[in-house]
Structure 1
């Protein structure tokens, strides 16, 4: 159960970075090399800094998907083991 609780949010919070591919966005707008991303109440980031941040988010998103998958496998395996033990 803990794998779902941790892995699910890891994937869904970073889902945009996972689904975005190589695109770099700033508040939903596509960025190009040389541009800066300025957000209200946050520091400005260059295209390269934003790309690195999205790469980290993508990695965390894939790790979350892996944890959820592992949780499913453990859940199914536990169910099979329990069922075999009741025979």
Structure 2
């Protein structure tokens, strides 16, 4: 999640702009040093939790932080305690 906060600082440039579509799962996989299936599964969990949003372009999936959901987390957590 920290890498996705400032993707231009943590990932190499890609064909599709990270500001618009997010970071390609392939780049996340390479940076994390895990298999592509592991990276995809992890990002899928974050997506189901609403913490990231995905965009599919061709065969690749791109992820970016869901800033609104992340900003709402403190309120959601305090309401559930």
TM-score above 0.5 = no
Between Structure 1 and Structure 2, which shows a larger proportion of helix residues?
A: 1
TM-score, normalisation: structure 2: 0.28
TM-score, normalisation: structure 1: 0.27
> Looking at both structures, which has the greater relative contact order when contacts are Cα pairs under 8 Å and sequence separation is at least 6?
1
